[in-house]
Chain A
Amino acid sequence: MPFDPAMFDPSQIPLVEIVFWAMTVCTIGGALGVVTSRNLFHSALYLILSFFGVSGYYVLLNAGFLAVVQLFVYVGAIAVLVLFAIMFSRRMMAAGQSQANQQWWVAGPVVIVLFVMLLAVVGSISWPVTEAEPSGDVVNQLGLAFLGSYLIPFEVVGVLLSVALIGAIILAREKTAEE
């Protein structure tokens, strides 16, 4: 059928589905790159692509704040940390060595069986999906919840992050001569 501009209705484009599939290509393709790439540096770059895809998922799920957090924390902090760690220890792998250990031929089937089992569970349960939309300002509600009913988890996470910060510095620090 030839394309007729007069018959073209922009509202018929399944935009949400198109974005979903684009993000799926980013996320799953990036993840496959992470686990199969022979060069660890390329793995880290694929990891960034995968994180971007997940961030797009959050936008589709009306969780804009989480999408921004995902970009800040995962792309901005964790991925950069991984890249730095790889660059600080340049000759991590002897050249020509395989990146996978001897268990990969067991791990592959096990993981595929796990995926099929998860799919079976997803398909067999009828989820109690509601038609409700998130109401009001979600960021506002998040802030109130973090300083209200979820105050203790919030504080515990704060303590955990401080401990992790100090621990990381102590672990990675170069020992000086007088110690």
Chain B
Amino acid sequence: MTTIPLSWWLTVSAALFSIGMYGALTRRNAIGILMGVELILNAVNINLVAFWRYIAPNDVAGQIFAIIVISVAAAEAAVGLAIVIAVYRRRHSAVVEELDILKN
């Protein structure tokens, strides 16, 4: 058994989640927001793998969930960045506050 208690992993994961949340809430640039979301998804994955290792190490479900989260994160990043590039091409800006075409 590793000597690191489960609560350390959960603490690190909570810190990473909070930092990612701060990035997603405060960045003006859409790519910055996407990077914050990636940090949040990484925090979730640390939690999943830590719970797998400490609570159910003989059931691979935790790792499978983490792999599916990674796949969804990859899909999200690809579509999100494609949207950012398409918007930048039309509006010459990736600042989310200036994207108000649908307003009014």
Chain A positions near chain B (C-beta within 8 angstroms): 14, 16-17, 20, 24, 27-28, 31-32, 34-35, 40, 43-44, 47, 50-51, 54, 57-58, 60-63, 65-66, 69-70, 73-74, 77-78, 81-82, 84-86, 88-89, 91-93, 97-101, 103-104, 107-108, 110-112, 114-115, 118-119, 122-123, 127-135, 138, 141-142, 145-146, 150, 153, 157, 160-161, 163-165, 167-169, 171-172, 174
Minimum CB–CB distance for A141 against chain B, Å: 5
Closest to A135 in B: B58
State which of A43, A92, A111 has its C-beta within 8 Å of the C-beta of B25. A111
A63 in contact with B26 (CB, 8 Å): no
State which of B3, B29, B53, B73 has its C-beta within 8 Å of the C-beta of A92. B29
Task: Compute how far the CA of A132 lies from the CA of B50 in the bound complex, rounded to whole angstroms.
Answer: 13
Determine the chain A residues whose CB is within 8 A of the CB of B61 once the complex forms.
145, 150
Closest to A146 in B: B64
- Kindly state the interface size class of chain B when it binds its partner: 35 or more
Tell me if B99 is interfacial: C-beta within 8 Å of chain A.
no
Task: Compute how far the CA of A6 lies from the CA of B73 in the bound complex, rounded to whole angstroms.
Answer: 52
Task: Compute how far the CA of A134 lies from the CA of B77 in the bound complex, rounded to whole angstroms.
Answer: 32
Among B1-34, those with CB < 8 Å from A are 1-4, 6-12, 14-23, 25-29, 31-32, 34
State which of A70, A89, A128, A131 has its C-beta within 8 Å of the C-beta of B1. A131
A73 in contact with B22 (CB, 8 Å): no
Closest to B71 in A: A157
Task: Compute how far the CA of A60 lies from the CA of B6 in the bound complex, rounded to whole angstroms.
Answer: 12
Minimum CB–CB distance for A15 against chain B, Å: 10
State which of B21, B55, B58 has its C-beta within 8 Å of the C-beta of A129. B55
Task: Compute how far the CA of A138 lies from the CA of B67 in the bound complex, rounded to whole angstroms.
Answer: 13
- B-side interface mostly: helix
Task: Compute how far the CA of A101 lies from the CA of B36 in the bound complex, rounded to whole angstroms.
Answer: 14
- A-side interface mostly: helix
Determine the chain A residues whose CB is within 8 A of the CB of B16 once the complex forms.
27-28, 31, 50, 54
Known A-B contacts: A104-B25, A128-B55, A142-B63. Give 20 more (CB < 8 A): A20-B8, A27-B12, A32-B19, A40-B32, A63-B53, A73-B71, A88-B85, A89-B85, A92-B93, A93-B29, A101-B26, A101-B97, A107-B22, A107-B25, A107-B26, A111-B19, A114-B21, A160-B72, A163-B75, A168-B81
